[in-house]
Amino acid sequence: MNKVNNALYKTTIQVGAGFIKRTTWYFVNILFFKNTLNVLAPLNIFLLKLFGAKLGKGVVIKPGVNIKYPWKLRIGNHVWIGEAVWIDNLSEVTIGDSVTLSQGALLLTGSHDHTKQSFDFISRPITLEEGVWIAAKAVVFGGVTCYSHSILGINSVAENNLQAYTIYKGSPAVPVIQRVIS
């Protein structure tokens, strides 16, 4: 039986920015985003755009948010990002209009290939379509699309796509009920 050998580890991640931009963003992220005392939402929007994020109108970003790479982030109109959300976007993350990311939600694009002895790093994009709600402390893995108006319940884990107008709960998340909006 083969064993994992971290000495063979490989990654093909394309960061998409040079050392100076990455380092500058690291400090901006700590000072203005992860800092729970910062309540200057308009400044945060400006800084995200300055570093290459594409943002629509009416975006709300609460204090304590952690964003890995803003240049790999697309956010639609009227999106609400709650306290302590972590967008670990080593790949593209696309967030549609009227999406809610509740407190402590995690969008995690990166993982490892557990089938290889080299335990290679892999990263895949995440797409949250219009009206999606990712509830508190829920996790969305790379490669997942949450289709229109789907909901991922509190502390649930989405390893596969979420179908439109469906509420999912659990780890791994399973469909539990249809979402009806009146």
For each of the chain's 182 residues, which pLDDT tens digit applies?
678 887 777 777 789 999 999 999 999 999 999 998 887 888 999 999 999 999 999 999 999 999 999 999 999 999 999 999 999 999 999 999 999 999 999 999 999 888 888 888 899 999 999 999 999 999 999 999 999 999 999 999 999 999 999 999 999 999 999 999 99
Question: CATH number for the domain including 153?
Answer: 2.160.10.10
How far apart, in Å, are the Cα atoms of 116 and each of 2, 12, 142, 159? Answer: 9, 15, 18, 20
* Sheet hosting strand 151-152, strand order edge to edge: 60-61, 80-81, 100-101, 133-134, 151-152, 166-170, 173-178
> Which SS3 state, helix, strand or coil, does residue 70 take?
helix
Whether residue 10 lies inside any domain: the answer is: no
Whether residue 37 lies inside any domain: the answer is: yes
Full DSSP string of 109-125: -EEE-TTSTT--EEE--
Whether residue 9 lies inside any domain: the answer is: no
- Structural domain that includes position 30: 16-178
The C-alpha atoms of residue 98 and residue 81 are separated, in whole angstroms, by: 11
Whether residue 5 lies inside any domain: the answer is: no
* Sheet hosting strand 66-67, strand order edge to edge: 66-67, 86-88, 106-108, 139-141, 157-158
pLDDT (0 to 100) of residue 1:
66
Whether residue 143 lies inside any domain: the answer is: yes
Whether residue 127 lies inside any domain: the answer is: yes
Q: Under a CB-based contact definition with an 8 Å cutoff, are residues 82 and 101 in contact?
A: yes
Q: Under a CB-based contact definition with an 8 Å cutoff, are residues 141 and 158 in contact?
A: yes
pTM score over 0.85:
yes
| Both tokens assigned to 181 | 């909006």
What domain count does the chain have?
1
pLDDT (0 to 100) of residue 148:
98
Count, in order, helices (H) and strands (E) of the chain. Answer: 2, 19
Go through 109-118 and write b for each residue having 16 or more CB atoms within 10 A of its CB, e for each that does not. Answer: bbbeeeeeee
Whether residue 7 lies inside any domain: the answer is: no
Whether residue 155 lies inside any domain: the answer is: yes
